[in-house]
A and B are shown apart, each in its own frame.
Chain A
Amino acid sequence: DAKTTQPNSMESNEEEPVHLPCNHSTISGTDYIHWYRQLPSQGPEYVIHGLTSNVNNRMASLAIAEDRKSSTLILHRATLRDAAVYYCTQYTSGTYKYIFGTGTRLKVLA
């Protein structure tokens, strides 16, 4: 079965960059890599996604390894509001299946 693996937790200082890693060694050629984050008492929210190339948006950047077996979510300047659980997800196009991992709990220190 498809599976993503992430560290259970990470810490970062406020206003410093954060690199959140994810392994998805069973990813197929057409699977997209999505990242979501879940703030306390809320449902997950979309952060960013990509297929092969690195991607940037206003929230974060996504760096995808050349073999696509891993990716890294980059928060350029962490703020206290970025404290959340970050989920790396494989999306198999055409199947409606988003495979979530157990997530990384990010703690941001003031």
Chain B
Amino acid sequence: ETGVTQTPRHLVMGMTNKKSLKCEQHLGHNAMYWYKQSAKKPLELMFVYNFKEQTENNSVPSRFSPECPNSSHLFLHLHTLQPEDSALYLCASSQVGQVADEKLFFGSGTQLSVL
């Protein structure tokens, strides 16, 4: 399998549930990202990991908890979410180090609905 794979593609959860989103990249990249895409809003950067170390936490509420066990896997743990957290959650990766050629590769996203 190639590229960036996200599971599940769709998730419906109640406000008291705990769930996790998974992302795996097969590109050998050293940086991984979580983005949130809400209707009619720009993509919002949530977290960035470089070589498994978190380098960005864009003022994201603590009900979202990222985990990066290695440079190929990224998780987003969810608990006690609110209905306004319903959105498309996108994972991306990039190879950081050669600025002139850095670019993002995205997965297909997880469409999350919080009831």
Residues of A that sit less than 8 Å from B by CB = 32, 34, 36, 41-46, 49, 51, 87, 91, 93-94, 96-103
For chains A and B in complex, what number of residue pairs have CB atoms within 8 angstroms? 53
On chain B, the residues within 8 Å of A100 by CB distance are 42-43
The answer to whether B45 touches A97 (Cβ under 8 A) is: yes
On chain A, the residues within 8 Å of B81 by CB distance are none
Q: Which of B43-102 contact A (CB under 8 A)?
A: 43, 45, 48, 50, 55-56, 90, 92, 94, 96, 99-100, 102
On chain B, the residues within 8 Å of A41 by CB distance are 108
The answer to whether A44 touches B90 (Cβ under 8 A) is: yes
CB distance from A11 to the nearest CB of B (A): 19
The answer to whether B107 touches A43 (Cβ under 8 A) is: yes
